[in-house]
Amino acid sequence: MRVIPINWTDLETAFERNSPDTESFLDTRTGEVVTVTEGAIDYTEQRAKVQAGGEAYVRIEPAASREQYKWMERFVVGVTDEPLRERLVIAIDGKGAFRRFKDVLLNYPTERERWFTYRSDLLHWAMQKWLEKEQLAPKEAAPWGAPKPPPEENVQLERPASNGEGPGEILRRQAKELIDLIPAVELPAAIAFLDFLRERGVAELGRVRTIPVKRTAA
């Protein structure tokens, strides 16, 4: 087991970053995290730096998207507010699940903060298991203390079954069926309302991307 310095903030960021065009490496001599992104201005420089360092650099394995999706599922299982849990079940169904999940939590600040704490705990546990696998031990303890294993790791989220359709598909189909029943004279009003809902969703997403969010242990 090698005892090494670790920049915990940078290591946590690297574990959160999950992109096919990005790799991160931990310099076991200094604790520095070097990120190599295809197409970036410093790509050649950073890649050469890692190659020159040889075995001193250990490739960081970020939390996989599939694993982070399971985190969302397990979090939803623990939501006691029934209407909110139903909205979250629908939100995480299909492509764009992560964005929709965060959008729903915007209007529930207490549950949103609980999610950030929950996710941070799971991320820290994943980091600890990676360090153990690579046989690396930090010189200084992590600022969040010793992570604990998730107690509900095998919990499964129950979804309503309906001919293989996901919750989102069911609602969209129902909406289309209702549109077919609306008199033509009422369609302009229905379309205007749907446009309003769509624009509101875009505006909320833009607000999330521009306003800094205070997070717990992250």
Q: Which pLDDT tens digit goes with each residue over 70-113?
A: 899 899 988 998 889 888 988 888 788 888 899 999 889 999 99
Is 124 among the domain residues?
no
Is 114 among the domain residues?
no
Task: Convert 119-137 to b/e letters by CB count within 10 Å (16 or more is b).
Answer: bbbbbbbbbbebbeebebe
pLDDT at residue 215 above 50?
Answer: no
Separation between Cα atoms, residue 102 and residue 19, nearest integer Å: 19
More confident site: 151 or 115: 115
- Which of 59, 75, 93 terminates a domain? The answer is 59
- Number of separate domains in the chain: 2
CB 103 within 8 A of CB 201: yes
- What is the per-residue pLDDT for 140? 92
Q: Residue range 121-125: average pLDDT?
A: 93
Is 206 among the domain residues?
yes
Is 43 among the domain residues?
yes
- What is the per-residue pLDDT for 171? 60
Is 155 among the domain residues?
no
Domain that holds residue 13: 2-59
- Which of 32, 59, 86 terminates a domain? The answer is 59
Is 121 among the domain residues?
no
Is 90 among the domain residues?
no
Is 18 among the domain residues?
yes
- Which of 42, 59, 76 terminates a domain? The answer is 59
Which one of 15-19, 54-58, 60-64, 87-91 scores highest in mean pLDDT?
Answer: 54-58
Q: Which amino acid is at 142?
A: A
Cα dihedral 158, 163, 169, 171, rounded to 10, equals: -80
Q: What is the pLDDT of residues 147-171, one digit of tens each?
A: 888 776 566 666 655 555 555 565 6
pLDDT at residue 216 above 50?
Answer: no
pTM of the model: 0.69
Q: How confident is the model at residue 196 (pLDDT cuts 50, 70, 90)?
A: confident
